[in-house]
Amino acid sequence: MEIVWFKRDLRVHDHAPLTAAAAAASGRPVLPLYIIEPSLWAQADMSGRQFAFLAETLADLDRSLAARGARLVVRVGEAVAVLDELHKAHGVHAVHAHEETGNLWSFARDRAVRRWARGAGVGVHEVRQHGVWRALDNRNDWAARWDAMMAAPRLPAPAAIRCADVPSDAMPDAAALGLADDPCPGRQRGGRREGLALLKGFFESRGRRYRAAMSAPESGAAHCSRLSPHLAQGSISMREAYQAALAARLRWRAADDAMFVRAIDSFVSRLHWHCHFIQKLEDAPWLEARCLHPAYDGVHENEGAALSAWAGGMTGWPFVDACMRSLAATGWLNFRMRAMVMSVASHHLRLDWRQTGAVLARMFTDYEPGIHWAQVQMQSGTTGTNIPRIYNPVKQGHDQDANGDFIRRWVPELAGLATPWLHEPWKAPPELRGDLGYPGPIADHEVAARAARAAIAGIRRDPAHAPPACAILVKHGSRKAGLPDANRRRGKPASGQRELDL
């Protein structure tokens, strides 16, 4: 039989491996397979909310396959063992799959599967899903190749699939995989139908205010596309999102709606950057474990109480805490605030980015390893090439939540405090503070920021810093991707900072 191994590509539309398997079968049945791998769910970046979103997406995929005469077979076990068992019981001609750029664990898993396939005489056919190229020598012409791939016609879903008669395992729950209880009442629901509804709503109305609204957490939640978890699990393809954006741009341009056209242009640029950052992890699979620039190893040393306070939204900096509590309850946060909470953890609290990066990964329903770990390092100042972004947590609150509505919603201990004191409650007169049940600031953010800047400046002054930084820029720098640098257009220093609010 031909196996279609679904991983993070959970759809039947625009799915090259499924199309190829159905066409190549020549009388052989096709087995649509998803493997729930206990070792994957034991990794530090995986969580119950991600599994819940996955389970809903798998159920939707099964319905789509059923409409074409097939069913999704779910097996629980490690990939090599599952594939070997299927081969011995039924005979596998080939495994069809998309290339995946995931965490280090999935990188090692895919290598093990290819070794097994060579030994078993089973073909493995992997094709590109995103605009990410395997074994890329350099970024020359990267953007042109991305544009060509995204402009290619989308593949229709197969009209009918001759499905192999293979039983499915029972779907486990999160507890059976050892995942901790993970309540997330505001979590987005999984499944292609949910993703298509978001896509439609964004291009019909919600997206008009995208450019103006994306920076603030409250407005960003309403006016960003919210497609990120669906792109991460592949219930919608990147090409679908791109082509839907171009079609919407034509409609709104014909309607003379310049505001909507500019919003869609910004969205399209972020689709490019989505793949640009995943390409970084593809080229450096160890990115979640080691500093991109080795000079920064050991810079972040704190742990324990500071880590718990930050993760639990109890730093005493109201806007930071509101963002962390909102993320815990919804599984989503706009990009600027993701950058801020990571910057605060790394610079103000000197926490190890590997620990805090794993905390955030678990909290993000839309966790995409390629974007996540590249951004974690960028916001932590460990790339050696980007201008350090050390956010002022109080200023960000004033800028993005001037009236304090977001803080009052997520830090109810401060709801009764007058707006002038809301962002810095420690400065309020004692008779106004009363017994709020809210901690004082974990540190003086201005003193901590100065110390972080001094530490980074000291590292960069070392003559040994420059050669690795130049090599990193050549290999990973966006200028090699052929993409526009918005900071340069505005006459600002090139920082590599990017907004990725999908």
Annotated binding site for FAD: 210, 267
Dihedral Cα 263, 264, 268, 271, nearest 10 deg:
70
Report the first-to-last Cα separation within the chain, whole angstroms.
38
DSSP string for residues in 216-281: SHHHHHHHS---HHHHHHTSS-HHHHHHHHHHHHHHHHHTT-HHHHHHHHHHHHHHHHHHHHHHHH
- Is residue 46 within 8 A of residue 179, CB to CB? The reply is yes
- Phi/psi region, residue 167 (left: phi>0; alpha: psi -120 to 50; beta: rest), is beta
What gap in Å lies between CA 84 and CA 113, rounded to an integer? 10
What gap in Å lies between CA 400 and CA 408, rounded to an integer? 13
How many of the other CB atoms lie within 10 Å of CB of 42? Answer: 12
Consecutive H or E run containing 57: helix 48-66
Binding region: 210, 267
DSSP string for residues in 365-427: TT--HHHHHHHHHHHHT-SSSSPP----HHHHHHHH-TT-HHHHHH-GGGTTS-HHHHT-GGG
Dihedral Cα 363, 369, 372, 375, nearest 10 deg:
160
What gap in Å lies between CA 44 and CA 104, rounded to an integer? 11
In this structure, the chain runs to a length of: 502
DSSP string for residues in 166-225: ---PPPPPTGGGTPPP---TTPPPPSHHHHHHHHHHHHHTGGGGHHHHTTSHHHHHHHS-
Consecutive H or E run containing 309: helix 305-311
> Residue 69 has which token pair?
């005469």
Consecutive H or E run containing 5: strand 2-6
